[in-house]
Structure 1
Amino acid sequence: MEQGGQHEGPPLDAEVRTPAPASTRGPARRTLRRQLAVSFGVVGALGILLCGVLLLLVASVGSALDTVQEDAESTRLALGLSLAVREQYIHEAHTILEGNATHLHHHDRWVRRAQEGATELEGRAPSAAAGRARRVAEASADLDAVFAERIVPAAMAGDEEAVRTAHGEAENLARRAQAEADALVAALDQRVAVVHDQALARSRLALGISVLGTLMQVFVSALLFARLRRSLVRPLRSLTAAAAAVSAGRESVELQSGARGEVATVAVAFEAMRSQLQRRGQELVRAERMAALGELAQAVAGAIREPCDRVRDELHAMRSRPAYEDMRGELDILSEEVEACHRIVDDLLAWAQAPELAREEQDVAEVIHSAVERFRSTELGRAIELEADAESCSLWLDAVRVRQVLANLLRNASRASPGGSVRVEGHLAENDRYRVSVTDDGPGVPPEQLPRLFEPFYTGHQGTGLGLAVCHGIVAAHGGAIFAEVRSEGGLSVSFELPRRPTS
C-alpha cells in the first residue's frame, strides 16, 4: 500500500517528567488555602489553649494571694485581739495592786479594742476563726464584768479576801481568752502558710506549662513549616528551576512531587505550557524539514522531468518507425517505465507544491460518485468489487482535488485487496463535518505503522510513498483532517473529514 507521513512529524527527544499532582489523587483534595488555614488554626488553637490555661492558673494564683492577704490581715487583727486581752488583764492587775482607779480609763480602752477586733474578725475570718474570735470577745466581756462588778468595789473597800477571790476568777478568764486568741493566731498563720504554698505551687505550675507550651508551639510550628515547605516551597522552587531550565533551552526537566491544591494547578498549567511549546517546536522543526525536503523534491522533479520527456518523445517516434517493428514489445515496456517515472515526478511536484484550491459550493455526494465511477473504469477498478454510498450534502470544496484524494485512496485500497471488495461511504459527522471513508478487506497494516502512514516517502508495500502525503496536503488545505484505523474484522479504513464551510 502506498503510504505517507504523519502530520505531526517526528517527536523531539525532549521530555519533562511531571509526577501526578497530589491534589488529583483521591477525593481528599487539599488546597493551599486550606493548608494555610489548618496550619495557622493549629498554631492559633495551641496558643489560645496555652493562654487559657495560663490565665486560669494566674487567676488561681491571684485568688490565693488575695486569700493570703486577707488571712494576713485577719492574723494582724487576731494579734491585736490577743494584745487587747493581755492589756486588759494587765490594767486590771495594776488596779488591784495600786488599789485606786487610775488605770480604769486604759482598761476600758483595751476592752473596746478587744470587742471591736473580735467583731471585725467575725466578719472577715473563716467560720472556725470567727468562732474563736467570738469566744475571745465573750471571755473579754466576762473578764470586764468581773473587774467592774467585783474587783473594783473590793479594791476600793480594801477587802483583800474578796479581791483575791475575784482575781482568781479573772485570771482564769484572762488565760482562757489568751489561749483562744493564741489559738486563733496559730490557725490563721497555718492557713496563710498553706495558701502561700498553694500559690507558690501554682506559680511554678504556670511557669512549667508556659515553658512546655512554648516548646510545644515551637515544635508544632516547625512541623507545620516543614510540611508547608515540602508541599509549597519545594514545588515552587522546582517550578522556578524548571522554568529557568526551559528558558535556557534544556527540555529534559523533572518536576518535584508533593504539590497540592493551587501549586498543583500551577504545575499542571506549566506542564501544559511546556507541552504546547514542545508541540510547536516539533511543528516548527517538521515544517522546516518538510520545506527543505519540498524544495529538494521540486528541484529533483524538475531535473528529471525534462530528460523523461525527451525519452518519452523518442520512444514514441521509435514505435512509429518500421525499422523498430521487431522491438515493439521492448519499446512498450520502456514506455511504461517512462510513464511510471512521470507519475513519480507528478507526485513529487504535487506533494512539494502547496495545493491551490478552486472552491465551489457543490454536492459532495456527486463528487464522490463521479470519482468512484471514474476509478471503476480503470484496470484496478475492474479487478475489485466497488461499492459507494454517500449522503447528499452541500460543501465548499475543490472537486478536482477531492477526486484526486479519492483516486489515491481507491488505488491504495484496490492494491491492498486484489479481487476483494472496497467500500466508499460519505455522511455528515457529529462535529458538523462531512466524513468520507474508504474501506478495504485486505490484510491491513500493523498497528505500529499507523503513525507513519502519512509520512512522505514512507511505504510499506509498493509505490513512492507520496500518495497519502499528497492526500494529507489537499485535505489540510481544505481545513480538514485525514486519519486511518485498522478494522477489527480485518482490512484498513482511511477517512478524511471536510468542513461544511471554508475555514479562514
Structure 2
Amino acid sequence: MTDVARPRGLTWGKRTFLAFALVVAVSVSSAALVALIVGPPLFHEHLLELDRPQGTAEMAHIEQAFFDAGVRSLGAGLAVALALATVLVWWETRRLRRPLDELTSAARRLGSGDYQARVPIGTAGPEFDAVGEAFNSMAGRLDATEENRRRLLSDVAHELRTPLSTLTAELEAIGDGLIPWDHESHDLLVQQAARLQRIANDLNDVSHAEEGRFQLDRRPVPVAELVHQAVATFRPRYAAKGVELTADSERCVVVADPQRVGQIMENLLENALRHTPAGGMVKVDAQSARGEVTISVTDTGDGLTGDQLDRVFDRFYRTDTSRARDVGGSGIGLTISRSLAQAHGGSLTATSPGPGRGSTFILVLPSPA
C-alpha cells in the first residue's frame, strides 16, 4: 500500500506555538514601547507642577533616575512576563496537540484494519470531544459492518457447503459408474441446484434488508385486508397439517407498502406453521392504539427459550438445527421481516413463555395521524 504523502514544513503544534509566541512578543514589545514613550513626559509634567526650576542638575538627575528605574523595572517585569507567557503557550500548545495526536494514531489504526480503535473523550475542550465522538461513532459503524461481513462470509460458507458436497459426491459417483444416471439421480441434482438458487436469492434479500435498500410504496391500507389475504393464502396448508388458523382484526388503517407487509405476514405464518404440531392453533390478532397498529401472530407450538429469543431474528438462525434446510427454512425470513418492519418505522419483536408453550410475534406499524 502506498504511503500517504505528508506535507512539508512546520507541524501544526510548532506553528501554533510560534504564533502564540509571536503574539506574546508583540504584546510585550508594544507595552514596553508605550511605557517608554508615555512615561517620561508624564513624569516631567508632574515635576513641573511642583514649581521646581527647570534645567537644573537636580531636575535632570530626578528625571534620569525615573527613566533608569522605569526601564530596569519594566524590562525585568516584561522579561518575567515573556518567560511565563512562553511557558504557558508551550503548555497550552502541547495540551491541544495531544488529542490531535490521539486522533491521528486512532485513524491510522483504523486504516490498518484495527476497528477497535477509539479516542478518549473528555480530555480536551468540547470541540475536540465532538470530533472524538464523531470519530468513535464512525469507528463503531465500521466495526459493526466488518463484523457483519465476517459473519456473512461464515454463514455463506456454511450454507453452501452441504449442497455443493452433495452435488460433488453425486457427480463423482455417476462419473465413476458407481450409480446410474436415472430419474432419481436427476431429481437429486435438480433439487440441490434449486437449493443453491434459493440460497443465492436469500443472500440477495438479506443484503437488501441489512442495508435498508427496500423500495416501499406506502399508502393507507386497511389492516383487515392485509390479515385476510395472508390468512386466506395459508389456510389450505394449515388445514392439511391439522392446525387451526383464526384471525381477528379491528377496523383500522396502516400507512405501509401492502406487498411488503404481506411478505412479513407470510413469513410469520410460515414460521408459526412450521413450529406448530397437528392439533395446535395459530391466532392472528390486529388492534389499534395510540397512533399505531399491532398485529400479533400467536401459536401453541414449540416455544422459545431465552437464548432463542435473543437470536431468533439473526440471519440463518434456526431454532431446531436438526431440521433439514428444505424443511426448516432458510433462517432469514424473520431477519428480513424485522428489517421491513423497521423500514416502515415500526418494529417486530418476539415473546414466549418457554419451550413447548408457544410463542407470539408482534408487528407494530404506524397508522395515519
Q: Measured at CA, do residues 221 and 406 of structure 1 come closer, stay the same or move farther in structure 2, by a change above 3 Å? A: same
Q: Which residue, out of 291, 305, 308, partners 1:445?
A: 305
Q: Measured at CA, do residues 295 and 380 of structure 1 come closer, stay the same or move farther in structure 2, by a change above 3 Å? A: same
Q: Which residue of 2 aligns with 1:138?
A: none
Q: Which residue of 1 aligns with 2:117?
A: 253
Greater displacement, 372-381 / 345-354: 345-354
One-letter amino acid of the structure 2 residue matched with residue 293 of structure 1: H
Q: Which residue of 2 aligns with 1:274?
A: 139
Bigger radius of gyration among the two: 1
Q: CA RMSD in A?
A: 5.7
CA distance, structure 2, for counterparts of residue 305 and residue 477 of structure 1: 38
Q: Which residue of 2 aligns with 1:236?
A: 100
1:369-408 map, 5 Å: 369-371=231-233, 373-374=235-236, 376-379=238-241, 381-382=243-244, 386-389=246-249, 395-397=257-259, 404-408=266-270
Greater displacement, 443-452 / 248-257: 443-452
CA distance, structure 2, for counterparts of residue 303 and residue 493 of structure 1: 41
CA distance, structure 1, for counterparts of residue 246 and residue 319 of structure 2: 24
Q: Which residue, out of 60, 70, 77, partners 1:212?
A: 77
Deviation of 1:449 (Å): 4.9
Q: Per chain length, whose mean CA-contact separation is higher, i.e. which structure has more relative contact order (CA < 8 Å, sep 6+)? A: 1
Greater displacement, 489-498 / 467-476: 489-498
CA contact (8 A) 2:315 2:335 kept: no
CA contact (8 A) 2:313 2:335 kept: no
The DSSP-based 3-state class of the residue aligned with 1:437 is strand
Q: Which residue of 2 aligns with 1:223?
A: 88
One-letter amino acid of the structure 2 residue matched with residue 377 of structure 1: A
The DSSP-based 3-state class of the residue aligned with 2:149 is helix
Deviation of 1:479 (Å): 8.9
Q: How many residues align?
A: 306
CA distance, structure 1, for counterparts of residue 105 and residue 84 of structure 2: 30
CA distance, structure 2, for counterparts of residue 66 and residue 447 of structure 1: 97
Q: Which residue, out of 152, 158, 166, partners 1:287?
A: 152
Q: Measured at CA, do residues 447 and 196 of structure 1 come closer, stay the same or move farther in structure 2, by a change above 3 Å? A: farther
Q: Which residue of 1 aligns with 2:284?
A: 424
Q: Measured at CA, do residues 448 and 414 of structure 1 come closer, stay the same or move farther in structure 2, by a change above 3 Å? A: closer
> Aligned pair 1:352/2:199, yes or no?
yes
One-letter amino acid of the structure 1 residue matched with residue 284 of structure 2: V
Deviation of 1:215 (Å): 1.6
CA contact (8 A) 1:371 1:407 kept: no
CA contact (8 A) 1:478 1:498 kept: no
CA distance, structure 2, for counterparts of residue 475 and residue 411 of structure 1: 16
CA distance, structure 1, for counterparts of residue 253 and residue 193 of structure 2: 32
CA contact (8 A) 2:296 2:360 kept: yes
One-letter amino acid of the structure 2 residue matched with residue 370 of structure 1: A
Q: Which residue of 2 aligns with 1:469?
A: 331
Q: Which residue of 1 aligns with 2:361?
A: 494
**Residues 264-312 of structure 1 deviation map (CA, whole Å, 9 limit, x = unaligned):** 33323322332333333233333333333333243356679999xx9xx
One-letter amino acid of the structure 2 residue matched with residue 381 of structure 1: V
CA contact (8 A) 2:118 2:139 kept: no
CA distance, structure 2, for counterparts of residue 429 and residue 294 of structure 1: 41
TM-score of the superposition, structure 1-length normalised? 0.44
The DSSP-based 3-state class of the residue aligned with 1:354 is helix
One-letter amino acid of the structure 1 residue matched with residue 80 of structure 2: L
Q: Which residue of 2 aligns with 1:122?
A: none
TM-score of the superposition, structure 2-length normalised? 0.57
CA distance, structure 2, for counterparts of residue 289 and residue 364 of structure 1: 36
CA distance, structure 2, for counterparts of residue 484 and residue 305 of structure 1: 42
CA contact (8 A) 1:480 1:499 kept: no
CA contact (8 A) 2:160 2:196 kept: no
One-letter amino acid of the structure 2 residue matched with residue 210 of structure 1: G
CA contact (8 A) 1:456 1:469 kept: yes
The DSSP-based 3-state class of the residue aligned with 2:113 is coil
Deviation of 1:238 (Å): 1.5
Q: Measured at CA, do residues 302 and 424 of structure 1 come closer, stay the same or move farther in structure 2, by a change above 3 Å? A: farther
Q: Measured at CA, do residues 437 and 299 of structure 1 come closer, stay the same or move farther in structure 2, by a change above 3 Å? A: farther
One-letter amino acid of the structure 1 residue matched with residue 99 of structure 2: P
CA contact (8 A) 2:115 2:142 kept: no
The DSSP-based 3-state class of the residue aligned with 2:135 is helix
Q: Which residue of 1 aligns with 2:4?
A: none
Deviation of 1:219 (Å): 1.3
One-letter amino acid of the structure 2 residue matched with residue 285 of structure 1: R
One-letter amino acid of the structure 2 residue matched with residue 280 of structure 1: T
Q: Measured at CA, do residues 412 and 347 of structure 1 come closer, stay the same or move farther in structure 2, by a change above 3 Å? A: farther
**Residues 316-354 of structure 1 deviation map (CA, whole Å, 9 limit, x = unaligned):** xxxxxxxxxxxxxxxxxxxxxxxxxxxx98996686241
Q: Measured at CA, do residues 298 and 242 of structure 1 come closer, stay the same or move farther in structure 2, by a change above 3 Å? A: same
Q: Measured at CA, do residues 374 and 494 of structure 1 come closer, stay the same or move farther in structure 2, by a change above 3 Å? A: same
